[in-house]
Structure 1
Amino acid sequence: MRKLLLIAAAGLAMATAASAQTVKVSVTAIVEHPALDAVRDGVRDGLADAGYKEGENLQFVYESAQGNPATAAQIAREFVGSAPDVIVPISTPSAQAVAAATRDIPVVFSAVTDPLAAGLVESNEKPGGNVTGVSDLTPVADHVALIMELAPSAKSVGFVYNPGEANSVALLEHFRNAAEEAGLSVVEAAANKSADVQAAGRSLVGKADAMYVPTDNTVVSALEALISVAEENDLPLVSGDTDSVERGTLASIGFDYYQLGRQTADVVVRVLKGEAPGDIPVTFASGTDLVVNRKAAEAMGVTLPEGLVERASKVIE
């Protein structure tokens, strides 16, 4: 009888250990800035709420590529070599690097503008392979309308972006189509690296009546340089993400990137529980917020319409 009890106890211990088995989730981003950092934090907190907690049954690894695509590829290879349960690349460049490095480990991307155009999935409805995730495709038509409301006499808008980022190239096409429908011409200003952002902004002075910065990781990482150009030249600057309004852009209609991270965590949990990434449709960010910045408006010589302020979900004083 004692032997049977010992065998039963051992079996229970093994079952308990199996149920508490630690999973490893490796997260990487192309660069650190508030929006992408919020995604990372949302992923971690979402996993915790689902029962996967650091120090208990979750090993959460994070690496930033510091804006360097070569570093992103190196991180991807290192992650694959460590064989995590799921890899979560944040941003299009990081997602492309990870997807190129593995065909076996589940990949759940986040903050990718156009997964199909980036070559990450076969279709948004049925991604196929080992990759799925959450898109942050921004409402560019709403952004164009916002620019027109803030600068009704504007005839042209400058689009500051890194042409090496696939997400920004896709957004440029969407933005141009929306701008043309509104009667606005688009003037491109390229910044291939963070150090080029200020010069790109200055190249628009005298050519554009307003400026727009999409969810471009290169430009957003050096946003203050572009804000200084906008303030010095009374150029309204609208951003593709609301976190940038906190930093000094004029306004935006966008998503809460922390909530985007939590949406991503929901997909990661489905994969950890056994679903194949290729069978999980790409999720698109839900919810929009209008955020305006009174201090930025004053610095850029813009009078905020009262109707706009009343509609805002948040007004930064």
Structure 2
Amino acid sequence: MKQLPWMTLGALTLAFAAIAPASAQEKSVAVTAIVEHPALDAVRDGAKDALKAAGFEEGKNLKWQYQSAQGNTGTAAQIARKFIGDKPDVIIAIATPSAQAVVAATKNVPVVFSAVTDPVAAKLVPSWDASGTNVTGVSDLLAMDKQVELIKKVVPDAKRLGIVYNPGEANSVVVVKELKELLPKMGMTLVEASAPRSVDVGSAGRSLVGKVDAIYNSTDNNVVSAYESLVKVAQEAKIPLIAADSDSVKRGAIASLGVNYRDLGEQTGRMVARILKGEKPGDIKPEVSTKLELFVNPGAAEKQGVKLSDEFIKSATTIVK
């Protein structure tokens, strides 16, 4: 048999590579988050694990890159532009500000948002139906009536509810709007404290002392990234602190009825895997996590001057000690 010239063999190798199955070729996923804190980190790690379970593993057939904007929306926009220039197969955008930055910068690269409370209000998608665009994702939207019921279980006589939030974050604005509409129907009022930056969280919390019977924190990224400063206020002033996410309970809130952000990340990863396998993001309806878990921290309750019933503690999915 006549031996083929080296160049002919090289050409054949390239030809076979070109027609290799897509699953055998490396895929690229770029992940951006507005800030690093336990809940958003859990989303990132959960997504990566779900991709591995679906057959996409870093170092084998997946290029994975991650960048945090460290709470800066300008940096989020820079990361978005950088990632779009890299032309990954999918961009995962964690939290509303990062998702808004990415969606504003591309109409072509597939985008999967995660940990976004209201993607419609944030103008990421036109509705909760399949968008027909390059965007889909997973929301951490919570029913506010269930949140107020939880607050009432922790502080039955609460009339004035405080909230610390960043008025520049769409997630938080949606929550405040809903609470303003809901609380009067339940004989309560909302007292707002603005924290445009993470460094403002402690002073915003102190501004509520003497004005509120309890403080509720949503998944506001400024607040959660500086959560210990709010916990300190709650302990010193003996104001019960109730959270929207379980990681905040581990850090000093009394209770939360919220999304498991690790599960949310895995749900996000499964959606990304569908796109890597050929589905179009515009054909996939945005999803909401429906798995809620009750976390209770009896030690935090004691430090904040609250006595929890044994029945309430035993009803928890997880008791933080």
Which of 96, 111, 114 is 1:110 aligned to? 114
Match of 1:142 in 2: 146
Aligned counterparts of 2:73 and 2:16: Cα–Cα separation in 1: 48
Aligned counterparts of 1:304 and 1:224: Cα–Cα separation in 2: 22
Deviations 1:6-46 (CA, angstroms, capped at 9, x unpaired): 89x95766655754210110000000000000000011000
Match of 1:299 in 2: 303
Give runs of aligned pairs for residues 1-317 of structure 1, distance below 5 A: 15-16=19-20, 18-317=22-321
Aligned counterparts of 2:86 and 2:119: Cα–Cα separation in 1: 25
Asked whether the equivalents of residues 298 and 313 of structure 2 are also in contact (C-alpha less than 8 Å), the reply is no
C-alpha spacing 1:88/1:13, structure 2 compared with 1 (3 Å): closer
Deviations 1:59-105 (CA, angstroms, capped at 9, x unpaired): 01000000000000000000011111100000000000000110110
C-alpha spacing 1:182/1:104, structure 2 compared with 1 (3 Å): same
Asked whether the equivalents of residues 23 and 277 of structure 2 are also in contact (C-alpha less than 8 Å), the reply is no
C-alpha spacing 1:19/1:195, structure 2 compared with 1 (3 Å): closer
- With 162-171 and 272-281 compared, the bigger mean Cα shift is at 272-281
User: How many matched pairs?
Assistant: 315
Percentage of pairs with the same residue:
54
Aligned to 2:190, the other structure's residue is in SS state strand
Kindly provide the amino acid, as one letter, of the partner of residue 243 in structure 1: D
Aligned counterparts of 2:264 and 2:137: Cα–Cα separation in 1: 11
Asked whether the equivalents of residues 42 and 259 of structure 1 are also in contact (C-alpha less than 8 Å), the reply is yes
Asked whether the equivalents of residues 136 and 282 of structure 2 are also in contact (C-alpha less than 8 Å), the reply is yes
C-alpha spacing 1:13/1:93, structure 2 compared with 1 (3 Å): closer
CA RMSD of aligned residues (A): 1.8
C-alpha spacing 1:151/1:48, structure 2 compared with 1 (3 Å): same
Kindly provide the amino acid, as one letter, of the partner of residue 121 in structure 1: V
Asked whether the equivalents of residues 214 and 241 of structure 2 are also in contact (C-alpha less than 8 Å), the reply is yes
Aligned to 1:275, the other structure's residue is in SS state coil
TM-aligned CA deviation for residue 255 of structure 1: 1.0
C-alpha spacing 1:214/1:18, structure 2 compared with 1 (3 Å): closer
Aligned counterparts of 1:13 and 1:278: Cα–Cα separation in 2: 29
TM-aligned CA deviation for residue 180 of structure 1: 2.1
Asked whether the equivalents of residues 122 and 128 of structure 1 are also in contact (C-alpha less than 8 Å), the reply is no
Aligned counterparts of 1:106 and 1:16: Cα–Cα separation in 2: 23
C-alpha spacing 1:16/1:300, structure 2 compared with 1 (3 Å): same
Asked whether the equivalents of residues 46 and 266 of structure 1 are also in contact (C-alpha less than 8 Å), the reply is yes
TM-aligned CA deviation for residue 125 of structure 1: 0.9
Asked whether the equivalents of residues 117 and 171 of structure 2 are also in contact (C-alpha less than 8 Å), the reply is yes
In structure 2, runs of 5+ residues without a counterpart are none
Aligned counterparts of 2:80 and 2:133: Cα–Cα separation in 1: 17
Aligned to 1:66, the other structure's residue is in SS state coil
Deviations 1:180-206 (CA, angstroms, capped at 9, x unpaired): 222111000110001100110011011
TM-aligned CA deviation for residue 176 of structure 1: 2.5
Aligned counterparts of 1:33 and 1:234: Cα–Cα separation in 2: 25
TM-aligned CA deviation for residue 154 of structure 1: 1.4
Aligned counterparts of 2:253 and 2:2: Cα–Cα separation in 1: 73
Runs of 4+, deviation exceeding 4 Å: 1-4, 9-18
Aligned to 1:298, the other structure's residue is in SS state helix
TM-aligned CA deviation for residue 147 of structure 1: 1.1
Aligned counterparts of 1:179 and 1:221: Cα–Cα separation in 2: 26
TM-aligned CA deviation for residue 139 of structure 1: 2.8
In structure 1, runs of 5+ residues without a counterpart are none
Aligned counterparts of 1:188 and 1:265: Cα–Cα separation in 2: 35
Query: Under a length normalisation based on structure 2, what TM-score does the superposition of the two structures give?
Result: 0.94
C-alpha spacing 1:14/1:131, structure 2 compared with 1 (3 Å): closer
